[in-house]
Amino acid sequence: MAKRDNKLTDKQMNKLTKYYFLGVGGIGMSALTRYFNDKGFQTGGYDRTESKVTADLQAEGIFVTFDDGTSTIPEDFLNPEKTLVILTPAIPKDHPQLLYFQKNGFTIKKRAEILGDITRKAKAICIAGTHGKTTTSTIAAHLLYQSRVSCSAFLGGIANNYNTNLLLSNDSNLVVVEADEYDRSFHYLSPFMAVITSADPDHLDIYGSEEAFKDSFEHFTSLIRPGGALLMRSGVNIKPRLQKGVKLYSYSMDDGGDFHAENVRMQKGEIYFDFVTPTGRIADVRLGLPIRINVENSVAAMALAWLNGVSDDEMRMSLASFSGVYRRFNTVCKSGGIVYMDDYAHHPGELRASIASIRELYPGRKITGVFQPHLYTRTRDFAPEFAEALSLLDELVLLDIYPAREEPVEGVSSKIIFDDVKLKDKSLCSMENLLTLLGNKNLDVLVTFGAGDIEKIVPEIKRMLASKAPKGDV
Which domains does the chain carry?
Answer: 3-110 (3.40.50.720), 122-321 (3.40.1190.10), 330-468 (3.90.190.20)
Q: How many CA atoms lie within 13 A of 151 on its CB side?
A: 29
Average pLDDT over residues 63-84: 96
pLDDT of residue 287: 93
* CA 427 to chain centroid: 28
Whether residue 290 is predicted with pLDDT greater than 90 in this model: the reply is: no
Whether residue 474 is predicted with pLDDT greater than 70 in this model: the reply is: no
Q: Considering the chain, what is the average pLDDT of its residues?
A: 92
Predicted confidence band at 226 (pLDDT cuts at 50, 70, 90)? very high
Whether residue 303 is predicted with pLDDT greater than 50 in this model: the reply is: yes
Average pLDDT over residues 359-383: 93
Q: What is the pLDDT of residues 161-174, one digit of tens each?
A: 999 999 999 999 99
pLDDT of residue 5: 44
Average pLDDT over residues 191-214: 86
Burial 304-337 (b: 16+ CB within 10 A, else e): bbbbbebebebbbebbeebebbbbbbbebbebee
pLDDT of residue 1: 35
pLDDT of residue 473: 57
pLDDT of residue 472: 54
Whether residue 462 is predicted with pLDDT greater than 60 in this model: the reply is: yes
Count of CB atoms within 10 A of residue 84's CB?
Answer: 23
Q: How many CA atoms lie within 13 A of 14 on its CB side?
A: 3
Predicted confidence band at 437 (pLDDT cuts at 50, 70, 90)? very high
Which residues touch 84 (CB under 8 Å, ≥6 apart)?
8, 16, 18, 19, 20, 106, 107, 109
Predicted confidence band at 11 (pLDDT cuts at 50, 70, 90)? low
Whether residue 424 is predicted with pLDDT greater than 70 in this model: the reply is: yes
Give this prediction's pTM: 0.83
Amino acid residing at 20: Y
pLDDT of residue 344: 86
Whether residue 90 is predicted with pLDDT greater than 90 in this model: the reply is: no
Q: What is the pLDDT of residues 28-60, one digit of tens each?
A: 999 999 999 999 999 999 998 888 899 999 999
Spatial separation of the C-alpha atoms in residues 358 and 340, rounded to whole Å: 11
Which residues touch 113 (CB under 8 Å, ≥6 apart)?
5, 188
Count of CB atoms within 10 A of residue 149's CB?
Answer: 18
pLDDT of residue 3: 39
Q: What is the pLDDT of residues 127-144, one digit of tens each?
A: 999 888 999 999 999 999
Predicted confidence band at 12 (pLDDT cuts at 50, 70, 90)? low
Spatial separation of the C-alpha atoms in residues 120 and 97, rounded to whole Å: 30
Contact 396, 427 (CB under 8 A): yes
Spatial separation of the C-alpha atoms in residues 412 and 381, rounded to whole Å: 10
Average pLDDT over residues 88-100: 92
Least trusted range by pLDDT, from 90-99, 198-207, 323-332: 198-207
pLDDT of residue 4: 40
Spatial separation of the C-alpha atoms in residues 454 and 400, rounded to whole Å: 10
Average pLDDT over residues 424-432: 96
Average pLDDT over residues 397-406: 91
